[in-house]
Structure 1
Amino acid sequence: MTSIAFYGSSLLSSYWNGAATYYRGILRALAARGYDITFYEPDAFDRQKHRDIDPPDWCRVVVYAATPEGLRAAAAEAAQAGIVIKASGVGYEDDRLLAEVMAAARPGALRIFWDVDAPATLAELRDNPGHPLRQVLADLDLVLTYGGGDPVVAAYRTLGARACVPVYNALDTSTHFPVSPDPRFAADLAFLGNRLPDREARVQQFLFAPARHLPQMRFLLGGSGWDDAGLPDNLRLLGHVRTADHNAFNCSPRMVLNIARDSMAAVGFSPATRVFEAAGAGACLITDYWEGIELFFKPGEEILVARDGQDVVDHLAAITPEEARQIGQRALARVRRDHSYDQRAAEADTLFRRHAPGPAILQGVAP
């Protein structure tokens, strides 16, 4: 059986870790295809105190100490795997982890850098010609990205990557699906996202300003870091929302809002995990505009698009609860048909086979 050593931020906790759903969906589906996966995550940022899943039966999870010794021991285990994957944004000594993991990989192993925040990573690489990742790109077999489309692919190829392919976010149908509305999450519009510097101005524009413009409506904000943000009176703050509550959060409001970070919106072709989570729950989703939306959903029929806060106000004023329900149902049908993690795992499997240094590393995996 082909083994994968995957080094990422956290599989067990979504606390300050937006990649958790992506990791879980991709790796669960790869395991179903016959891969033997070990996920290595550092004990950092209090994530182990905020676990929202138990260690799964489809993946072995190794939590290592966020110390030089802990990192070194975890990296050394890469020598046991046929496929070695280092993700971006692990959160503890990323550059050192990259160097030690790839140095430990055995000859003939498939070596992959999986970028879950390509706009941020590429900005770092452009600003620092001596960046450790930039120095090893040409030696890696493959770069996979969470999104970004042709602009990201071209940027990575210019920087020396042999190959770069987006493997987009998707829906994990086993964890995200319609449920009964929950009064805790009743609202006209709800947004779920942590407070981040490169998204805050857009949250002010697309959520706070519409809430102030529509004082008769109810707004909901989930996520960490917003306590001192000066919220409108009709916007209720929830704090961190566990993954187990995401379905209810998406099913209960009349509409759900997606707000991209500045860098993601600028690059485009980067649908957030929450877009597919919301669609998978049958939510009527309003998203701020970013290039490439139409590759994933049909604007106006399966998703509503807002170019500014006034567009959000207009959607809230115009769309009835029944119309919102119909838009959500069309989004649900589209995401189940075209955007499941089973499909993404099939894409990743094809890429592993195409770029593997030799056929031996893929023994025991169903084609």
Structure 2
Amino acid sequence: MATRSRQDEASGTRSRATRSRRRAAQVGSLVLLALLAGCAGRGAIDRFSAVREVSPRQAFVMPSAGGPAIVGVLERTYSNGVEQDIVLAGGGAVAAQNVLKVQFIGPVDTATSGRSALSERPLATTDIARELRAEFPGIAMQRSPYYVQNRYGPFGYAVGRTGGTTCLYAWQRMTGSVDTTLLLRPRAIINMRLRRCDAGVSEAQLLATMYGLGVNSFIDHFSWVPYDAPPPPPPTLGASAAPIYPVAGAAATVLAEPAPAAAPAAAAPAPRRLARRAAPRPAPVAAPAQPPLPAPIGLPVPPPPGTAASAPTTSAPLAAPAAAASPASSVPVPPPPSVPGPAAPVPAVSAPAPQATAPLAQPVVVPPAICANGALRTAAGC
């Protein structure tokens, strides 16, 4: 009896193990069929690049009315911000497109951000020189030494020409206050780069694009405030005895007053009359002697008042009255007929020579220094 019971238990154990193996095989078959069905289905297309095209109405910065039209907008996402390449119309003879590059740096959504990060350090002179060589190969771009600013603060620019095409490259950086701790360092930055070339336009027309730009977007976060109060002007700005020359960064030189320009002939008639008076004239010829007139008959009539001629008399022949010479007249007056002989020539009158004025020297003043971002250098530096 004991032997049979042990045999029954062993057979039951074997049957349960067999059922378990069969159930595992069925589950494995179902999983395999599901995998095969998944491999046979069509998958969605994904892209490795984080660049996507958006509508021109979603551009971060908009040109002014009447400015260059927006052709397209390419947007890239980063771990600390978003960048847009706003393609503008035009281009001239340069084989490159006009583009406005805008970077918004701040606390963006990590679910839609990229893996790489944008640079948050301030601009340097070497960075601008490298960008000019990369954006305008073969074109001599000259940085402007003038201080300029638009509604968002100071900016810098460079201008170059090739043929009949004028190119402009402008850069601007807007950021919040820098008087913060390392833990609460500012992360609200807007970087802008404008590259524009057009044929038959001037530097002022291209520069008007920077003055008409308007920021159209923002990052919805309480710490994102890129519009800080503008820095105070230098203490010498507007003060007396502190001239500021337009050239910055060059050696100061002593400027002299320019020589006075020659006055036009129509505005100064006096020198012209003097020149005519100084012209040589032929010697006057004396009039031939006339026979004496017969003695008048009747009572003598006195001459009218104000005349230089004397009344005729009966004892002397009547002489021709002499004309009163005007001081301003330049024509020589011949002698009276009763005194024959050549008349003395009138000396020529020459114009007085203008006196040379010594140049006025201005005080030597060191021109103001401009930082790489276009702002004026203060005592604390850039």
TM class, shorter-length: under 0.3
Structure number with higher helix proportion: 1
**Which fold has the larger relative contact order, with Cα–Cα distance below 8 Å and residues 6 or more apart in sequence?**
1
Instruction: Tell me the TM-score normalised to structure 2 length.
Output: 0.20
Bigger radius of gyration: 2
Instruction: Tell me the TM-score normalised to structure 1 length.
Output: 0.21
